[in-house]
Amino acid sequence: MNRCVTAMHFDIFTLFPEAFDGPLRCSIVGRAIDRGLLSVGVHNIRDYASDRHRVCDDYPYGGGAGMVLKPEPVFVAAESVLNWSAADGEPPCPIVLMTPQGRTLTQNLVSELAESPRLALVCGHYEGVDERIREHLVTDEISIGDYVLTGGELPALIILDAVSRWIPGVLGDEDSVQEDSFANGLIEHPHYTRPVAYRDWTVPEVLRSGDHGEIARWRRQQSLLRTQQRRPDLLERISLTREDTKLLDAQT
Ligand code: 9D3
């Protein structure tokens, strides 16, 4: 499957750079940065505004509610950080605009983004961005789902988080990125750890049997059943083996 060959670099363009301070220091992403597998430049769009008050938004032509992100600071920020000019044509890496009108993020799209060694993410934070940013600067527009947020900062962090998992060495176990839910089109089986009995609730016998064939079958069956119950849409998109059909039928 698609995975990138080396470390990755992200450039994030935002009016709220402080939104990235905490998340980039935590957990797996924080460790990936410490280990040099991932590097992130967080760029304040406001630093690239040319007027005295460094204004980045303005009223919409034609009227209406809300403010619109001005083109100039965004173009100047992206062009200087990427060391490129929009007049030259193709940018050196994908420039992704975070917007509710974009393609919905999926694990497939994440794995495609992970093929690029460098990604630029532009976060809007107003009712909209000037259309010329879409037409002449960005190469992709992505939404993280059908709900309304206050800006593109959390969506950018979500893309960074999901893509980071595809960088070799970021996850402890190199195979887990492939094994994960959605990679095989099913949701996960239940997990248990010690103690074997918590209050009155015990761990299923099969998981303690030591019979790895039986355990794999049980887990597959649980994945199939859960997917059927909770995400029938996922089940329709994969082809079940005869064994899968048997496991599903055995339960009903
Ligand atoms: C009235 C039209 N609104 C769109 C639903 C305007 C609007 C509201 C909120 C425009 C931008 C925003 C802020 N959201 C994002 O920038 C955003 C977002 C989101 O709200 N949901 C899912 N994915 C994303 S990516 C960026």
In a domain, 22, yes or no: yes
Catalytic residue among 57, 153, 165, 220: 165
| Tens digit of each residue's pLDDT (9 = 90 or more) over 40-89 | 999 999 999 999 999 999 999 999 999 999 999 999 999 999 999 999 99
127 band by pLDDT with thresholds 50, 70 and 90: confident
Catalytic residue among 18, 180, 205, 211: 180
* 135 and 199 share one domain: no
Q: Is residue 225 over pLDDT 90?
A: yes
- Helix spans in the chain (H): 27-34, 71-82, 107-113, 131-136, 153-164, 176-179, 212-230, 232-236, 242-251
200 band by pLDDT with thresholds 50, 70 and 90: very high
Reply yes or no: is the peptide bond before residue 92 cis, omega within 30 of 0. Answer: no
CATH code of the domain in which 137 resides: 3.40.1280.10
Distance in angstroms (rounded) separating the CA atoms of residues 89 and 19 = 31
The finding on whether 71 has its CB within 6 A of some atom of ligand 1 is no
In a domain, 176, yes or no: no
In a domain, 2, yes or no: no
Report pLDDT for 250.
Answer: 94
Report pLDDT for 175.
Answer: 58
Report pLDDT for 76.
Answer: 98
165 counts as catalytic? yes
Report pLDDT for 2.
Answer: 55
* 117 and 63 share one domain: yes
Per-chain mean pLDDT for the chain: 94
Distance 152 CA to ligand 1 centre (A): 7
Distance 149 CA to ligand 1 centre (A): 5
pTM for the structure as a whole: 0.94
pLDDT cut 70: percent of the chain above it: 94
Q: What total number of domains does the chain contain? A: 2
Q: Which atom of ligand 1 is nearest to the CA of 155?
A: 25
127 counts as catalytic? yes
| Tens digit of each residue's pLDDT (9 = 90 or more) over 145-166 | 999 999 999 999 999 999 999 9
